[in-house]
A and B are shown apart, each in its own frame.
Chain A
């Protein structure tokens, strides 16, 4: 399979003053294959959104390289770089309330990309906008309205149309359904699935709803404090987690089944995720891990392929060596 995105040892540090550095993304190596949906899960503060933004150049990389279809992306984007890549890589944002400019009409929001990229002038822009409004389940006459006239689910559709009208090859969906009601989540997920198959999209789907990520994605990657701890086929990771953190994360997810929930003992993890500030060697999960060993505190476990697994399965844990 061809990789659309290849991230190689990507690192993003934020300097927060007082000589403190937050290791938001640390040494992440990850491929996103053509026409797949890769789910990225983790707690808030685990660096999943930052990784998504680094891949698109919305954050400058501290280290490492990102390749887009074999082409090395710049370390730091200049305006011309954004102009060049914005039509090929797009982002769907989490919050449909704050990610749309309240002073722009839907027509202006969706058409802005087309108007900026002169090569898209071949088809009249208005027709393209009407077409996309229909495609995401809105009406063509919604184009003259402002974002506040729409419900959350409708706004998210505007956000999707805005991103996909450029017909990008790679889309980062940053928690696209978290702000929506259950029934609307299903509508948006189904829409993304339809658009994925009709456009042949490649997606990085960031979310914290584990059941939904399993349902949506082909593969799943789990992040903890800026590092990947496990990568594999979605069903494998969800039903047969290997890393102790993945196990706890999946185990914390309550299932809509009272009988199995009643049997469940208290499964909660101890402690809370802390900001990865001034990281030293060792496994970042060691302090909360129930299976911690001496080596975990001194050596950082690399992300390695499991030998006995079916299909690709990468785990960063000293238990599997």
Chain B
């Protein structure tokens, strides 16, 4: 199938991940956390990876960044081409070559991601000293500028303070300042606004959009908030049980959802539209055991439209347009057309 080359767009992608498999050794056995994930991100664009806790979305990016401890973690297969180099094969991931330099990262909990015993300005400056060879004085001056760029009031005074004097929103701004210090070509944001209030969340999202349009960096955004996805994402990958089950543009995912799990996530959120409100539809059950993932479709046990075939046979990737696919047997020619009325099945009906 021609889907391997999903990107038919003009620019070469900044990051292309292909068939990534990650496992962890535990006392209970081997957890197959990521099972064949492929995606790419282009400059100036945002890819959102959505899914429930434990679906492997964080592990995916952390393994590419070299942030998972090995052992117990292990990348068993796959490539991650970043700016023309396979970062997995090259073992660059064990060094600090790209992290903090060409790749910036921000995390969910800024309070525990910053060093409580270092002044905020020094922590930002450290990045520049390590990667750019700045003197401390130069680096600190740049850190103050960066704090200003991330809209922290009185940046010069704030740079001399410790993290505990910052509010949650300001800490996240400081994290962003640190992440963009070396002008990375890609920014990985792992649940950047999950721990903060909606008002501060809106400020942080606006800031990220502004920085992205200024620098043209690519953004990989991991979140489970579909509102944040709608605000930020150009493309969306929906993950379930270590696999991408549906991927497409934001409009594809929100208006032409083609996988029952994507529909399930949408139905589990309030629509904010009293006209077409039909009550929340929770997804019953729990995700499968990742020690022994199901042979067939991982969503089989929770899927309202599951067919007998789904239990035993892993679903094929079904393209709906050149950029949109879903891994679901319902898109097979032989599948009954009268079930799953809300499922998008392609333009030609």
Q: Tell yes or no: B133 within 8 A of A by CB.
A: no
A residues 132-190 with Cβ under 8 Å of B? 151-153, 181-187, 189-190
A residues 229-255 with Cβ under 8 Å of B? 235, 238, 248-249, 251-255
User: A243 to chain B: closest CB distance in Å?
Assistant: 14
Q: Tell yes or no: A258 within 8 A of B by CB.
A: yes
Whether the Cβ atoms of B199 and A255 lie closer than 8 Å is no
Q: Tell yes or no: A308 within 8 A of B by CB.
A: no
Q: Tell yes or no: A268 within 8 A of B by CB.
A: yes
Whether the Cβ atoms of B230 and A256 lie closer than 8 Å is yes
Q: Tell yes or no: A212 within 8 A of B by CB.
A: yes
Whether the Cβ atoms of B230 and A254 lie closer than 8 Å is yes
Query: Contacts A211-B270, A235-B274; is A254 near B205 (CB within 8 Å)?
Result: yes
- For the complex, what is the distance from the CA of A244 to the CA of B206, rounded to whole Å? 20
User: B198 to chain A: closest CB distance in Å?
Assistant: 4
Most buried by B among A152, A238, A261: A261
User: A201 to chain B: closest CB distance in Å?
Assistant: 18
| Partner of A182 from B206, B231, B268, B271 at Cβ < 8 Å | B268
Whether the Cβ atoms of B203 and A258 lie closer than 8 Å is no
User: B293 to chain A: closest CB distance in Å?
Assistant: 18
Whether the Cβ atoms of B170 and A272 lie closer than 8 Å is yes
- For the complex, what is the distance from the CA of A269 to the CA of B202, rounded to whole Å? 8
- For the complex, what is the distance from the CA of A182 to the CA of B170, rounded to whole Å? 27
User: B201 to chain A: closest CB distance in Å?
Assistant: 7
Query: Contacts A211-B272, A235-B274; is A186 near B280 (CB within 8 Å)?
Result: yes
- For the complex, what is the distance from the CA of A135 to the CA of B311, rounded to whole Å? 30
- For the complex, what is the distance from the CA of A267 to the CA of B231, rounded to whole Å? 12
| Partner of B202 from A153, A215, A259, A267 at Cβ < 8 Å | A267
- For the complex, what is the distance from the CA of A184 to the CA of B281, rounded to whole Å? 10
Q: Which residue on chain A has the smallest CB distance to residue B286?
A: A151
Q: Which residue on chain B has the smallest CB distance to residue A187?
A: B282
Give 1 or 0 for each of A183-204: 1 = CB within 8 Å of chain B CB.
Answer: 1111101100000000000000
What's the dominant secondary structure at chain A's contact region?
A: helix
Whether the Cβ atoms of A181 and B230 lie closer than 8 Å is no
- For the complex, what is the distance from the CA of A317 to the CA of B4, rounded to whole Å? 58
| Partner of B197 from A152, A208, A214, A238 at Cβ < 8 Å | A208
Whether the Cβ atoms of A183 and B254 lie closer than 8 Å is no
User: B286 to chain A: closest CB distance in Å?
Assistant: 7
User: B180 to chain A: closest CB distance in Å?
Assistant: 18
Whether the Cβ atoms of A252 and B199 lie closer than 8 Å is yes
Q: Which residue on chain B has the smallest CB distance to residue A251?
A: B202
Whether the Cβ atoms of A183 and B283 lie closer than 8 Å is yes
| Partner of B227 from A181, A184, A187, A256 at Cβ < 8 Å | A256
Residues of B within 8 A of A153 (CB): 286
| Partner of B224 from A43, A182, A266, A267 at Cβ < 8 Å | A182
Residues of B within 8 A of A189 (CB): 280, 282
Residues of B within 8 A of A20 (CB): none
Count, chain A residues at interface, CB 8 A: 42
Q: Which residue on chain A has the smallest CB distance to residue B268?
A: A186
Give 1 or 0 for each of B193-237: 1 = CB within 8 Å of chain A CB.
Answer: 000011111110110011000000000000011111111010000
Q: Tell yes or no: B17 within 8 A of A by CB.
A: no
Residues of A within 8 A of B96 (CB): none
- For the complex, what is the distance from the CA of A248 to the CA of B201, rounded to whole Å? 12
Whether the Cβ atoms of B227 and A272 lie closer than 8 Å is no
Residues of A within 8 A of B226 (CB): 182, 256
- For the complex, what is the distance from the CA of A273 to the CA of B203, rounded to whole Å? 13
- For the complex, what is the distance from the CA of A267 to the CA of B205, rounded to whole Å? 10
Residues of B within 8 A of A185 (CB): 268
Query: Contacts A235-B274, A268-B206; is A183 near B231 (CB within 8 Å)?
Result: no
Q: Which residue on chain B has the smallest CB distance to residue A259?
A: B251
Whether the Cβ atoms of A257 and B230 lie closer than 8 Å is yes
User: A160 to chain B: closest CB distance in Å?
Assistant: 15
Whether the Cβ atoms of A183 and B206 lie closer than 8 Å is no
User: A205 to chain B: closest CB distance in Å?
Assistant: 13
Q: Tell yes or no: A210 within 8 A of B by CB.
A: yes
Most buried by A among B210, B227, B266: B227
Residues of A within 8 A of B272 (CB): 211, 214, 238, 255
Residues of B within 8 A of A210 (CB): 198
Query: Contacts A182-B269, A269-B203; is A258 near B250 (CB within 8 Å)?
Result: yes
Q: Tell yes or no: A264 within 8 A of B by CB.
A: yes
Whether the Cβ atoms of A264 and B169 lie closer than 8 Å is no
- For the complex, what is the distance from the CA of A49 to the CA of B38, rounded to whole Å? 43
Query: Contacts A211-B270, A258-B251; is A272 near B169 (CB within 8 Å)?
Result: yes
Whether the Cβ atoms of A190 and B282 lie closer than 8 Å is yes
Residues of A within 8 A of B225 (CB): 182, 254
User: Could you name 9 residue pairs across A and B whose Cβ atoms are closer than 8 Å?
Assistant: A182-B225, A185-B268, A190-B279, A249-B199, A256-B266, A264-B231, A266-B206, A268-B202, A272-B169
Closest 9 CB pairs of A and B: A254-B227, A186-B282, A215-B270, A252-B202, A186-B268, A183-B283, A256-B226, A187-B282, A268-B203
Interface contacts beyond A186-B282, A208-B198, A248-B199: sample of 6 additional A-B pairs, CB < 8 Å, sorted by A: A183-B283, A215-B270, A254-B202, A267-B206, A268-B199, A272-B167
